[in-house]
Structure 1
Amino acid sequence: METASCVPTVQIQARDPAASSLDCGDPCEWRIVDMLDADKRKAVFLLHQEGMGRNQIARQLRISPNTVRVIIEQQGEMPLGTRSDKIQIDSDLLKRLYKECDGFARRVHEKLVEEEHISIHYSTLTRLLRQLGMSRSDASDPRRSASAARQWLLEMINGRHTIKRLQVQLPDATDLQFLFSHLKHGRSRQRKKAATILARKRSIPNSVIAQALQSSCSTTRRYYRIYLDAGLEALFAWSTNRHCGDQHKVSERTKRILELLHHKPTSYGINRTNWTQPALLKAYEQSYGEVISRSALAKIIRRAGYRWNKARRVLTSPDPCYHEKVELLLSTLQSLATGEMFFFLDEWGPVQVRQRGGKAYRTDHATIPRHQVSRGNVSLIAALSATTNHVTWHFLDSKDSHAMMDMVEILYNQYHTKPKLYVTWDAVAWHNSGLLLEALDQFNEETRACSVGPIIELVPLPTSSQFLNVVEGVLSGMTRAVINNSDYPNAAQMKQAISKHFSERNEHYKHNPRRVGKKIWELDFFQDFNALRAGNYKDW
């Protein structure tokens, strides 16, 4: 049967690659051939009516069997819907937008839709950009290359990317200022968090971000999840990296671990006097039949506030009247009347005049002879005013009760117009000698008889409680400043340096008034007498 006369000729329009504009079809139709005309559709239907098979019709007319099936179902009629005209996009417009958007196709698509009012599918746009040779290679695309992503992040950290440029590159510019600031000025973990969020906003995959930041994929994924769920405040909180599974399970493990720590290792058959991580893991497995990793154990111990610390040997006061003496000291100090003064007294020395060591900035390792000829000795007694922070000092020939009485007379003459002076010193033998106490009583009787000068009242410190004497810190500071790393030729020059140090200190507090100490003026500070008795205090 002759069929050639029944089949019309089908013409396919070729595209001109040199055209100045690009055309694209409807978003749902990406074929490059035109729709079949009415004559050809009728020919397909007639051949089918004459008994020719679908595959044979498809081979002869060079169309797909599916097309033949659809035409037969439509009985050779033209469909009611008509294909929309192809959209013409100027290639110069695409090139300009591509340059303005820094090669970011997503932004080009948004500009076409929002500003140029051109409706085009994103995949069609990328195809057109490839035809124009404007698509980026994978090696230079941060979304596909870890090295390119790392380079993009480094350029942003080094300030090569401005906020305005990032607003163009990032489809979502929310929180951009905050993230950009933390990326440039934050700590290491904060920079990684900010870089993760900015990179995800740049549409860089999580695997590429993790490789560029040298972090695990789970870490960067968790940062982004926290940001989406709870926002920036939760993301940059200090505890975001303290992540250890189910909270109930962790709290139960913590309770068990702490219970083990409160027992001796020997209670679990381990021949040790202290716990180690392997010993804890062994005892935990024996007791609860559960195996946990060493890293999980370390995290639980760290979160519970435990640290690997060495026991500190402290000076403990054995004074049976410790509470009463401390309460008297504090109540006296905190209830000083107008004009009354309180002084902390203590001796320093004797210290040999010789070459001395100490910490200092050096280019080489300094050495000091062990055996040296002494160039003299220096001793002094100092009194520190609790209200003015001024130091009164006097150099001694020997440390005895007479030296303490000499300092009391110096304070009496220096503060002759004050109504009362309170003094306190360490409870050593020559400070509490009968001779000194009798001399002090006689001194006060003469003052009352003359009705001129201040009364001297002693406030004793507990036994072995030098940590309560604030002047100890001042003498230690003087030692670090002018004694350590010194090499004075004689005792006179050492005394001169000490006197100059105290004079400069007094001058400083004259222009910058401040009371001695910090928390000794707070009424509720020394409530834990057991801690205070052992010297377990800070910043007092």
Structure 2
Amino acid sequence: MSRHTISKAKQLKIALLVESKKLNISQCASNLNISRNTVKRYARFYTSLFHSNSNDLLYTKKSLPTLKSRKHIIEKTIDLQNFLFELAQQEPECLSSAIIAWHRYLTVYTVGYKRSQFITIFNNWLKTHKHIIHKAWDVNFIPEEDLKTFRSWRNSLDRHRWELSVVITESYKSRPTAEIAEKIERSGNTLRDWINSYKKYGISGFEKKNHKTNPNILQLREEKKTNIIKLIHEPPKLHGINRTSWFLTDLAETYRKIYSTYISTSTISQYLKSEGYTYRKAKEVLTSPDPQFRKKMNEITDILKNLGTREKFFSIDEFGPFAVKIKGGRSLVQKGEIKTFPQIQKSKGFTICTAALELSSNQITHFYSTKKNTIEMIKLIKLLLSQYNTEEKLYLSWDAASWHSSKELNIFLDSINHEAYRKEYQTPIIALAPLPASAQFLNVIESVFSGLAKSVIHNSNYESLEECKEAISQYFTSRNEYFLLNPRKAGKKIWGKEIVPSVFKDSQNCKDPRFR
């Protein structure tokens, strides 16, 4: 293509052919004695001109718009290069970004290059003159200690540290940003952010900062965790899964169906581990096979939600039987000291502690026996009737042991709930709220028993059965006094010794086999 403009007469002929839509590029080039590329260049110019003007125009030599020559373009490029040289000497900070330099360029040359053209010429100029200009965003100083650190990072297997080392050290050598970005496969903006961070904060600017988690996100995590624990307490068959225990994939799919929210198997595993659960424990301890699990749980939950001021709810179970002898356990010892106890010992007696935990006041009622049977349950009920005779109704919640649902016990309950008996002895109504089968982990009193075992059973060496009973009774007395002085329905962990708060929740595990 010619670097100079053709005569106006030739331009007019091309314009007329374009306007009449009779332009033949080869024939026109031959007739006007110019190249076909020149014809194409002017044809594109006049075609765009006619499209931008809705009226048909017949041009003359005087009114004909002309296409600027390449000479003008060359002059404009030279002006830009001269401008960049001056900018590098007077305001080098403006070279930190092509956009900043472009805006500065427009203040001098109002009719200059557009942004995309400017950026192309600007980047080529920087590459050509990198030995003249030290770019404003380059690192101009690296302390010796930082150099040692960057050398170790460059040889490490940590990809991110290697990238940081390359960017800072190569920038210090005034290597073009485009080449560094190509080497580490990052954008130029990312490189400049890292360089600016280092210049402002030093190498500490690359240290990971502890970010505060949004409280709403924390609450959502806790809700998911609670829902997962609830779910593993139910047998898989309740959700149409033909398994005897939960798999992580089954939990994830069932969670999505119930709560309409996606959760990954890795997240479920993380939540279970954070709560102290293992997959083995989930199979052996945390799953109830009771087909009426959900129904019984809903009944207990409804009772507790609507518990009246003159109504009491009791969690009942037996601790033991356990023998009185030297017990092992965790204790503070000096370094290198190993505490031992005989494997074979003669027992000093054995006992069973039957107890009832009243949930609204956190008070324990207990007695000792040598058997677990219906007679002992009747004895406990009579004790509760005497102790809580001013109440209107007492709810008894226990596991699915045979003596908790015997025929003899049901006959006794019918008799004491008879209107004549209650009128004569002024006793409250007794109602049952049984737990699902194999759901000891939901029996709140198991948490109290775990605290009892850690406090007065582990590491013990009582001289007699009576001394052991005295220690247990004193533990319960101290506990009752504490909650009388600090009344609360959902008591916190008593002195940090009970594994969960003494409150009925279907998402917690009250029984820890290690402490029984």
What's the TM-score, normalizing by structure 2? Answer: 0.46
Specify which structure has the higher proportion of helix.
2
